[in-house]
Amino acid sequence: PCLSETPEARVLERAVLESRVREMEEENRQIRLQLSQLQGTGVDIRNSVDGIASLFSAQLIHVACVCAGHNASRDVVTLVKSILFHRKNPLHFHFITDAVANQILSSLFQSWMVPSVQVSFYDADELKSEVSWIPNKHYSGIYGLMKLTLTKALPSDLTKVIVLDTDITFATDIAELWAIFRKFTDKQVIGLVENQSDWYLGNLWKNHKPWPALGRGFNTGVILLYLERLRRIGWEQMWRLTAERELMSMLSTSLADQDIFNAFIKQNPVLVHQLPCFWNVQLSDHTRSEQCYTEVSDLKVIHWNSPKKLRVKNKHVEFFRNLYLTFLEYDGNLLRRELFGCPSRAVAIPGSDATPLEELDEDDQCYDFRRERITVHRVHLYFLQYEYTPTGDDTDVTLVAQLSMDRLQMLEAICKHWEGPISLALYMSDAEAQQFLRYAQASEVLKNRKNVGYHIVYKEGQFYPVNLVRNVALRNANTPYVFLADVDFLPMYGLYDYLRKSVVQLDMAHTKKALVVPAFETLRYRLSFPKSKAELLSMLDIGTLYTFRYHVWTKGHAPTNYAKWRTATTPYKVEWEADFEPYVVVKRDCPEYDQRFVGFGWNKVSHIMELDAQEYDLMVLPNAFMIHMPHAPSFDISKFRSSPGYRYCLQTLKEEFHQDLSRKYGAAALKYLTAQRNI
């Protein structure tokens, strides 16, 4: 379909096309005539194409997917985005998951809140015994085999389901695929696309002996499963018998479920409905898929079934990659759009007592701030591989922090200064999350650390919801204690061990304490980081270091009492004062940050105030320190500085926070109001 080279060719081509089109139009007109009899029943059938689409648009489409681990959970999101992008129907996703994928995907969908999308989870562990007896060599491991168990795993009243691998990308409306169930003959129970490699022909190399298959065999990346009929014919028995028989000679499966499906089909060819090749264009290493897609002007489903994934060599790989990247970096918030004709339900915000959107006053000067507070941000927990078990002695401490793209370069340094577990929330767009992924995968320091939990909070709205992001990091710390830090600080070497010892020493388990880690700062990019408190003190004396915000906002850390700290050898208690915002170690079940504070201002101050209201003792650690590294001011600070509106709203929010404190903690909380007024 490109520009014809000569005018003659163009004229001829057009004449041929025109005559064909006229013929086809005539035929279509006939259909439309017949269809017009259907009109008046409320369904609008404009022509055959629209007609079919609108007839199906009321149907709920079921999609099943086996998904285990961190990487597959990331992949499946791109699949889901590509489906949501084109869909016009309500959808029900059925995920067979391990514990990791369950946690990630359930929190993701809960916060994604896509209208007309249901999600169900099924425990893969419970299905393991069904397939664990099958020896398997494929990289998908035991999870690939679980596709065999779907008649059992999915609800018994579910009649039909589309089963997809996680490495699939949709380039069209999934309703078109669902519609193919209608073309099944009465006997057919399973719809598949032919395999696009020579694997099952058994001639790839000497002594290559694949499982039995019909011709080239079928690929199981995209399956239409007619569950109702499969149950009726006794599928569960049948595939087992097939597998057992073949395993006597084959010893193990090479391609997991696909070998068993193929052996089964070879014996029962009438049960299969062959799908057109474009429903599963297989980009495997030695694919023959080109014979399929060069013939069709529109590709419907791409299957990245090479272990090389996006790096597979293929003449058209750039084309496929672009389709894939479209969804990989697509802003998932845009998929929250309503389906037309569906009444939108008021959305309840989990765990929030904020005013619902309808009740907000659009003319309120601080409308934008209030709106921000009730915005639900999509959250993808554990975006990267994570494996960590807290130390068994109940003293473990997680460093908790939040950041956005402009602080990414701090991560390696923090990892070098803190060997313990870290819980990081990253405020990013979908595209930035992919940039971060590439960065982390390329970093020797980061990729060797498995005890860092990276949680993506997707961007939305005009403010930086700093306390919401902090809470995501806090909630997902897995140790009894948390060190509430900021990403632009480097902890002293050995702080992790020292904090764990202090937890014991100060009996944190049975008291209500917040351990203060004194904060310092350097204005120099190239700091030779002090190895000890003594070294730090001498750097303070010569002016290489300062106490944190000494020049601009002394009050934030003055109560730490740096003078006393210089000579202290044991922890000492300090009293709360207005605007105190130290970095503290507390129990993980401490109060959360107040999410009404967005952007710059009062985000940590309000948290420390609430700790004090709950009667935490503030204990300064004599041998702990952390140093702030220099960076350019953030956007939100400049916004704050230049806008009187911003300052006014921050003041309003502060007052409301005070009122809430009094309501929660009674008369004792009045001191915060007084302290505030005295400033």
Which residues in the 6-25 window bind a copy of itself by CB under 8 A? 13-14, 17-18, 20-25
CB of 311 vs a copy of itself, minimal distance in Å = 12
Q: Return the number of the residue (345 or 677) whose C-beta is nearest a copy of itself.
A: 345
Calpha distance 81→170 (Å, rounded): 9
Q: Return the number of the residue (28 or 203) whose C-beta is nearest a copy of itself.
A: 28
Calpha distance 584→576 (Å, rounded): 13
Contact 616, 586 (CB under 8 A): yes
Residue with tokens 């000569």: 6
Number of residues located near a copy of itself, criterion CB under 8 A: 95
Q: Residue 2 interacts with a copy of itself (CB under 8 A)? A: yes
Considering only 155, 215, 630, 645, the residue that binds a copy of itself (CB under 8 A) is 630
CB count in 10 Å sphere of residue 228: 14
- The interface mask with a copy of itself, positions 31-50, x = CB under 8 A, is x--xx--x----xx-x-xxx
CB of 2 vs a copy of itself, minimal distance in Å = 3
Query: Cα-flanking dihedrals φ and ψ of residue 602, to 5°?
Result: 70, 15
Q: Return the number of the residue (49 or 204) whose C-beta is nearest a copy of itself.
A: 49
| Interacting span for a copy of itself (CB under 8 A) from 54-62, 96-104, 144-152, 366-374 | 54-62
Q: Return the number of the residue (444 or 589) whose C-beta is nearest a copy of itself.
A: 444
Calpha distance 442→434 (Å, rounded): 12
Q: Return the number of the residue (4 or 203) whose C-beta is nearest a copy of itself.
A: 4
Give the helix ranges, DSSP H, for 405-465.
Answer: 411-417, 430-442, 444-447
Going along 239-351, which residue ranges are E strands? 272-275, 281-282, 301-303
Q: Give, as ranges, the residues between 112 and 131 that touch a copy of itself (CB under 8 A).
A: 116, 118
Q: What is the DSSP string of 92-146?
A: EEEEEE-HHHHHHHHHHHHHH--TTEEEEEEEHHHHHHHHTTS-B-STTHHHHHG
Helix 644-665 to helix 635-642 angle, to the nearest 10 degrees? Answer: 100
Q: Give, as ranges, the residues between 201 and 230 that touch a copy of itself (CB under 8 A).
A: none
Calpha distance 254→139 (Å, rounded): 9
CB of 407 vs a copy of itself, minimal distance in Å = 8
Q: Residue 88 interacts with a copy of itself (CB under 8 A)? A: yes
- The interface mask with a copy of itself, positions 225-264, x = CB under 8 A, is ----------------------------------------
Q: Return the number of the residue (552 or 563) whose C-beta is nearest a copy of itself.
A: 552
- The interface mask with a copy of itself, positions 333-372, x = CB under 8 A, is -xxxxxxxxxx-----------------------------
Q: Return the number of the residue (321 or 513) whose C-beta is nearest a copy of itself.
A: 321
Q: Return the number of the residue (247 or 457) whose C-beta is nearest a copy of itself.
A: 457
CB of 642 vs a copy of itself, minimal distance in Å = 8
CB count in 10 Å sphere of residue 532: 13
Q: Return the number of the residue (32 or 588) whose C-beta is nearest a copy of itself.
A: 32
Sequence-separated (6 or more) residues with CB below 8 Å from residue 58: 89
Considering only 8, 444, 507, 589, the residue that binds a copy of itself (CB under 8 A) is 444
Sequence-separated (6 or more) residues with CB below 8 Å from residue 535: none
Q: Give, as ranges, the residues between 548 and 607 that touch a copy of itself (CB under 8 A).
A: 551-552
Calpha distance 240→235 (Å, rounded): 8
Calpha distance 554→549 (Å, rounded): 6
| Amino acid (one-letter) located at 223 | I
Q: Residue 529 interacts with a copy of itself (CB under 8 A)? A: no
Considering only 11, 12, 58, 347, the residue that binds a copy of itself (CB under 8 A) is 58
| Interacting span for a copy of itself (CB under 8 A) from 143-151, 399-407, 591-599, 602-610 | 399-407
Q: Residue 322 interacts with a copy of itself (CB under 8 A)? A: yes
Calpha distance 175→92 (Å, rounded): 12
Q: Return the number of the residue (324 or 383) whose C-beta is nearest a copy of itself.
A: 324
Q: Give, as ranges, the residues between 260 and 319 that touch a copy of itself (CB under 8 A).
A: 276, 293-298, 316, 318-319
Calpha distance 644→403 (Å, rounded): 26
Query: Cα-flanking dihedrals φ and ψ of residue 94, to 5°?
Result: -115, 110
CB of 397 vs a copy of itself, minimal distance in Å = 27
